[in-house]
Structure 1
Amino acid sequence: MVRSLAQWTKTLSFPSRISPNKISRENVNTVNPTISSNSLYPSCLKHNNEISNIMSDSNILIKDVNQIYSDQDSEKSIMRSVVYCIHHKEGCKWSDELRKLKAHLNTCKHDTKPCSSNCGAQIPRVLMEDHLKYTCLHRRAKCEFCTKDFTGESLESHIGHCGYEPIYCENKCGLKIQRRVLSQHKSSDCFKRLVACRYCKKDFVADTMATHHVKCGRVPVVCPNRCEITDLIREDMELHLKDQCTISLLNCSFKEAGCRFKGPRYLMDKHLEENSSQHLSLVCTLVTKQQHQIASLKSALSHLSLNYSGTLIWKVGDFAAKMSEAKTKEGMELVSPPFYTSQYGYKLQASLFPNGNGAGENSHISIYIKILPGEYDALLRWPFAHSVSFTLFDQSTCPEKACNIMESFIPDPTWKNFQRPSIEPDSLGFGFPRFVSHEMMKKRNFIKDDTVFIRVRVDPSKIVAV
């Protein structure tokens, strides 16, 4: 590259600062190179104001060389000055007289020159080889994937679009596929592509389709009994075997009654028709057996529900209706659930006459206790000797103000009603014909929500043990 003097003096760097008053032609050539402020004070400048016009703080910017060097001697003096290469900041170590700089720049490896391939770029000599090989737009290069020849400019456009370049599948299957066949891979070969099940039409990842088919309810299956029906699907198989398959083995519908026949469905109607009498007999036997079981269960349930505490809380509901019925129906009696004095004690039952009995008829409520035949009477002491009390509860909202009515008695051992009963007694038992008057029943809260509560208690301190 050929430069004029005005061009390369614009970027000159001098090794040292020279005083304008002491500079001489002799000592210009003997200045020791040191890296300091790069300035030039030519001896040909006579006035300080001329120096200030051309000097800067650290570097000299020379705009017109002819204005500064007014004679040839001054120019020669300057040209013998020792300077650095204009590319010393890029790493060039050259330093010599200014007049040799031009020749040096023609060989300096850091100096730029036009690209030899005429791409228009100015490239340092040291980078020219790499430029021609890798970055020059006019270089010739082969695509590493398709091996076709391209210029540098067209190769840059080609990279990223080459059909032979392997790239990762977008379905994240982990495979690298050439760009030109990637679409076909994603649509037909990729095992991570979405595929619709041909039976249920739902989408699944391709590599899970085999697992889905094992469970898919719409997959065609064969009846395990190999019957004549062929258009079965998995979700209908259970219903088919239960209600439709003619070869399925079935138990006779009278199995619970005792029939042991087991055969295919198509023979079942014939079996039922030919064995109707036998089935009827089995059913009758089963019914009889179940009746005994029901009776036994009722007895067990009744036994479990019995009261063995010796105290009965008797709830009499719909009292107004029962009172009205008792007034129109002579001798109407209400009986309580039976209860026991203990688990193996006496069996008792209370009876109530809403409209009274005997001396309390039409004016009082009468109440009695009677002894019933029990399971353990043979182990008990007779006559019955427990004291018995009856209590009518006052259902006041304030328990402290409640006024209950209670009557009690001690059995007379000579009275036949307290002897061991042999059969269900027909007698009234023992009690109080005038327990509570009808007038008293209205004065307090003995009747509340049309309900009456009566407690019958047997004194546990007089339970006679065997």
Structure 2
Amino acid sequence: MESDQATSICAHCDRPIPASNIDLHYAHCSRNLQKCKVCGDMVPKQHAEDHYFSTHAPVACSLCSETMERDILDIHKGENCPQRIVTCEFCEFPLPAIDLPKHQDVCGNRTELCHVCNKYVRLRERYSHGDSCNRIQDNSVGSSRCQVLLVIRPTQRDVRAAERDEGAQRRPQNEFSRKNLLFTIAITGVAVIVGSIFFQRKAEPSDVH
């Protein structure tokens, strides 16, 4: 007894078909479908030509007129077509890719002034020059800063010498102020004594009368 799950391969489309329906399927398949010689898909016979031209027929690039398979046309136009428009890396001028090398050979030899070192540099060398120029500038700035710090920042020896000089200047001033104070106190004392003697003598005649 034949199993219900048994299949047979269609001689026209090479697909497994239930064995009970193989004869009916083959009659319909061979009459209405056609196998594409390129991709192997089964397509209706009436659309087989359209399928080939729309999917597999070689096409011409609208830029360079080169003929190629349709499925690589987009890649060709975006990456490989010699007539695709590209931009010069030095002047950003748009031009066909086939003309780019010759243009950049001339354009890259133009010079411009570097505002860091005030030297004229070729455009093709501006990136490498910018890196080296910035390193030189950073080193010179760092050296200048160190020199400024050495000039501005005094050493401990200078600080101690200044403190000694300042102390030496303060000591005479303190001694002079102290002498002035003692002299003032002495004068005041003498004045008080003289004044008391004077008043005592003036009071003695009044006591006699």
Whether these two folds match at TM > 0.5 is no
Look at both structures and tell me which one has the larger radius of gyration over its CA atoms: 1
TM-score by length of 2: 0.39
Q: Which structure: greater helix fraction?
A: 2
| Greater length-normalized contact order (CA 8 Å, ≥ 6 residues apart) | 1
